[in-house]
Structure 1
């Protein structure tokens, strides 16, 4: 019996020591608390009549704002087109006026080139003046679709010129 008691006593001691010292596995794993699984939360849907009433109130206002914004943009674009047409016309006049000076300094042949360029610029101004804003926008879209590289280069050049004009305008003030 004594022999059988030793193993039981050793077994009790081993059980006590293992309970006092948690194993490496048990220490590395945090105790999991039992939490209930999250439940799907459903939003309360408003009554069908309330949704339709809200839409019927908002839709006319939205269309009114859209129409007002469209009219404002169209007026600004028309004003910009008129200014651009005047500017292109002025450039044409400037080129034509300088053609005489070019005749004297460089030669008649180059003066004729300047007059030809003035005629082309003047023709462009006339075409731009004759078209409305929507037609000009469509022409621009078609041009960009046909030759995007030229359009990007032109946009960069125009941006450069505008930046120079803004910088020089700020210093004079």
Structure 2
């Protein structure tokens, strides 16, 4: 809007500018615009910020609950897998007795008992205790943790690779 009169700006010009309605705010500017009836939008902005914070907290709690559920399921599966390994070692101990001698069969039984005891410990602890134990182990022996992570990564990569190679090419 061009100023068509040759007069310097006066109070009337300032009053006309102050009655303008709010438009899209400039990036980085604070939102203190007023509506045509003169009410401030600051309350609306504050309410919107609080609603966002409330929703973020709710979704964060839902994510934590879902993660805990997955961790409980994983703990159960790990306990079952360890029980199966212990049973496999116990079954193999008899064959080791026949082929290599009772001394080596005893080693297999000892290993089976150790795995079975570890499975019982995993089943008995809650997720928080297992996480604390893992954290303590990593802090105590970071080299062992890195080596174990590398070994698990290698095994997973080999499993994935063998699954991909087994798919027939069409």
Normalising by structure 1, we get a TM-score of: 0.70
Counting only pairs closer than 5 Å after superposition, residues 6-155 of structure 1 correspond to structure 2 as 43-47=28-32, 48-155=42-149
Inter-partner Cα distance in structure 1 for 2:167 and 2:81: 21
Structure 1 runs (4+) deviating above 6 angstroms are none
Higher helix share: 1
1:84 Cα deviation from its structure 2 partner: 1.0
Normalising by structure 2, we get a TM-score of: 0.71
**Aligned-residue RMSD, C-alpha:** 2.0
Aligned length: 133
Q: Which has the higher contact order (CA 8 A, sep 6+)?
A: 1
Give the 3 Å change call, closer, same or farther, for CA 114–49 of structure 1 in structure 2: same
Max Rg structure: 1
Deviations 1:99-119 (A, max 9, x none): 011111111111001100000
Give the 3 Å change call, closer, same or farther, for CA 117–53 of structure 1 in structure 2: same
1:87 Cα deviation from its structure 2 partner: 0.7
1:158 Cα deviation from its structure 2 partner: 1.7
Unaligned runs of 5+ in 1: 1-40
